[in-house]
Structure 1
Amino acid sequence: IVTIAKLTKVCVLRVCQDKLCFGPTGPRATREARLWCEVSRGAFYQFNMEGVSEELNEIYLELTSEHLPRAVRNAGNAASLKLQLTNKRRPCLTVVVELASRTGHTHVMVHDLPVRVLPRTWWKEYPEPNVQVSDVSVYLPGLRILKSIVERMANMGENVLVEANLNGKMNLSVETDVVSIKSYFKNLGNPPKSALSVTQDRDPETMVQVWVENRKLLQFFEGQQINPTMTLCNILSNTLLHLVLVHEDVSLQYFIPAL
């Protein structure tokens, strides 16, 4: 929730039978970075939802992202946390946090977050992201190290060049009229499927690159608090930087368009 709030101001929460999806609020300019996050029902002790019919068994809500972290701020040591769609003069996402005290008593905090229920005729405007086949895919190095490097580069220039190849190498670089900085990473590894769509005559050492805004890349590293078990960097040459974080029942994708 904290990560989502740092990456987008307003999002659409799509409640499905088997997961929750947090996505963008609709068609945007192609130059804008976009978020897609999924939380499977396995992350919850209890998960109940019912749509309007078996064919339309989903619920779409538009909400202000920053309201969520405030509601769950004290939930770290909570006995339970409940999310409910309620109607309190207007539709709300109600967050119920049950806190246990040292004396054995419980203290319940209730937050009613206003939401906008999106009509079914609008659902097609909020599809799941269409992930294009990337030219190269590589596992990311430590995110703290990357964040530190990107922070320093952000002080040097507005844009950063991200490049990688099929031999597990990745470089980050920034250039201005007065300075040029480049960081090299090797032996990162490539996902097994990354080489399937590559032509036989392609040299694994060939670097695939994309220029992106340093501000958007830094926003991603500053916002993430998922502590992922797997991190991926997918590059569509000179078109898109696609970052993926996975941790148990949570997956987060961030799409940064090329300059």
Structure 2
Amino acid sequence: MLQSVEKLNKTCVLKFTRDKIFLIVSKIELTELQVWGQVAINLLFEDFIIESANNNEIWLEVRTDQIIRVLKSAQSAIDVYCKLTKKTGLPSLSFNIKSIFRGDNPVLLVQDIPIRVLNMYHISEYKEPMVPQPHVHILMPPLVSVRTIIDRMKSMSNYLTISANYNGEFTLKIETESVSVETYFKDLICPELNQNENSQSQQERPKEQFSGCQISIIDFEKFVHSYVINPSSVICSIIENFAVVFYVYVRNDMSLMDYDQETRQFGALTYYIPAIIA
């Protein structure tokens, strides 16, 4: 998950609770794009203890490249122990990484990452965007294919219009005074979401009617970079003239038909890209 947001910002926020870890990337320079992710604690840790005066929540700001570098060094480890501590009076995340070297000899590597512990004032600055019910939601085509298309489109326009309908059709379009380019996908899946209001909207809306939204093509390109984590599936939710929201799932055993958009019980990254009104 961290690899997918590495290029968005130099820092990210990790929110630790008793049952989940949240990944937050906002305040990105020159954009209103935000990324909010979460994963269950039991998917990452065998044992986990957290205590704080803030409802047993701990918010940390870390350099994305530093924590990725540490986690990469722990990929072949047999045991990893992580704790919040202080080094020379400054807060840090300390990783004790135990590996087996040549001749079955155990090796212990200790790496410390400087961090910033966020207080209540700074925590209040982070609020996940609230969006209306989507007009349409659709399962995205493979992001690797989309990436190739966007690499060509971004040299021709700064804006991208995304459209879809409940007939399984999905389009990416750029249009300027000198050029108009559109890519069309068909036979995609429109998964059921456990939302009564959305189900009613889907039933009342003609399947062939498209809903669209114009967004920054650079923001969309940043979202497409999430292909690096090889997501099991990606859902695109379009709110006309308001925003496009992408749900990037990182687990292979999730059921799209049982997905609850409010509880988000599966590990996922959510990309919020606001509309650009011409």
TM-score strictly above 0.5: yes
Q: How does 1:13-32 map to 2 (within 5 A)?
A: 13-24=14-25, 32=32
2:136–2:202 CA contact under 8 A, matched in 1 = no
Decide whether aligned partners of structure 1 residues 97 and 132 sit closer, same or farther in structure 2, where only a CA change above 3 A counts. farther
1:7–1:220 CA contact under 8 A, matched in 2 = no
Q: Report the 3-state secondary structure (helix = DSSP H, G, I; strand = E; otherwise coil) of the residue aligned with 2:171.
A: strand
Q: Report the 3-state secondary structure (helix = DSSP H, G, I; strand = E; otherwise coil) of the residue aligned with 2:230.
A: coil
Which letter maps to 2:23?
F
Which letter maps to 1:184?
Y
Which letter maps to 1:77?
S
Decide whether aligned partners of structure 1 residues 114 and 222 sit closer, same or farther in structure 2, where only a CA change above 3 A counts. same
Q: Report the 3-state secondary structure (helix = DSSP H, G, I; strand = E; otherwise coil) of the residue aligned with 1:66.
A: helix
Instruction: Give, in angstroms, the shift of residue 108 of structure 1.
Output: 2.6
Rounded Cα–Cα distance in structure 2 between residues aligned with 1:47 and 1:225 = 28
Q: How does 1:94-243 map to 2 (within 5 A)?
A: 94-193=94-193, 195-198=198-201, 201-243=204-246
Instruction: Give, in angstroms, the shift of residue 9 of structure 1.
Output: 2.3
2:11–2:61 CA contact under 8 A, matched in 1 = yes
Instruction: Give, in angstroms, the shift of residue 8 of structure 1.
Output: 2.7
Q: RMSD value over aligned CA atoms? A: 2.3
Rounded Cα–Cα distance in structure 1 between residues aligned with 2:237 and 2:127 = 21
Instruction: Give, in angstroms, the shift of residue 207 of structure 1.
Output: 0.8
Q: Report the 3-state secondary structure (helix = DSSP H, G, I; strand = E; otherwise coil) of the residue aligned with 2:72.
A: coil
- Identity among equivalent positions (%) equals 28
Which letter maps to 1:72?
L
1:169–1:185 CA contact under 8 A, matched in 2 = yes
Rounded Cα–Cα distance in structure 1 between residues aligned with 2:15 and 2:66 = 17
Q: Partner residue of 2:55?
A: 56
2:160–2:214 CA contact under 8 A, matched in 1 = yes
Instruction: Give, in angstroms, the shift of residue 4 of structure 1.
Output: 2.6
2:270 maps to 1:253: yes
Instruction: Give, in angstroms, the shift of residue 82 of structure 1.
Output: 3.2
Decide whether aligned partners of structure 1 residues 170 and 5 sit closer, same or farther in structure 2, where only a CA change above 3 A counts. same
Decide whether aligned partners of structure 1 residues 182 and 11 sit closer, same or farther in structure 2, where only a CA change above 3 A counts. same
CA deviation map 1:11-53 (0-9, x unaligned): 2211000011011457x89951001011211212424232225
Rounded Cα–Cα distance in structure 2 between residues aligned with 1:8 and 1:150 = 21
Structure 2: which 5+ residue stretches go unaligned? Answer: 252-265
CA deviation map 1:187-242 (0-9, x unaligned): 11111137514175422211111111111111222244222222100111011111
2:65 maps to 1:66: yes
Structure 1: which 5+ residue stretches go unaligned? Answer: none
